[in-house]
Amino acid sequence: MPVDFNGTWNLVSNDNFEGYMVALGIDFATRKIAKMLKPQKVIKQDGDSFHIHTTSTFRDYVLQFKIGEEFDEDNKGLDNRKCKSLVTWENDKLVCVQTGEKKNRGWTHWLEGDDLYLELRCENQVCRQVFKRA
């Protein structure tokens, strides 16, 4: 039985989001807005199929994938770079590798207690986000 990420989650902390955005080449004005945001994630999981909707007052981002099936990701409204993405289980963690122009790009989701964690990686930068159930 895989871990169950289903739910609506609100951001409560966002460590080094600035460094992550700089690594992605996000411009200063956009970063200023983005770091004020408190995004919400709505995760719908059916076994190994995922639908993750990240919403905010500024931009929204939708990601749909199946574990072990590589897909094209466009990062529209984020840095807009296309990449090939693959999500796999590493024990109870959901690990995404985003292969493209940026080295070492990807993210990891996991649950700790009743909190949702997200680590976002790009080049030598790591952003750590924590979400609580809405």
Q: Please list every residue from 53 through 72 that binds ligand YOG, using CB under 6 A.
A: 54, 56, 58-61, 63
Cβ-Cβ contacts under 8 Å for 29 (sequence gap 6 or more)? none
What is the 8-class DSSP label of residue 81? -
**3-class DSSP state of 82:** coil
CB of 1 to ligand YOG, least distance (A): 21
Q: Which residue is nearest to ligand YOG (CB)?
A: 63
129 bridge partner residues: 14, 118
Phi, psi angles (nearest 5°) of residue 33: -70, -50
Does the protein bind ligand YOG through residue 117 (CB under 6 A)? no
State the residues that interact with ligand YOG by CB under 6 A: 21, 24, 26, 30, 34, 37, 39, 41, 52, 54, 56, 58-61, 63, 78-79, 107, 118, 120
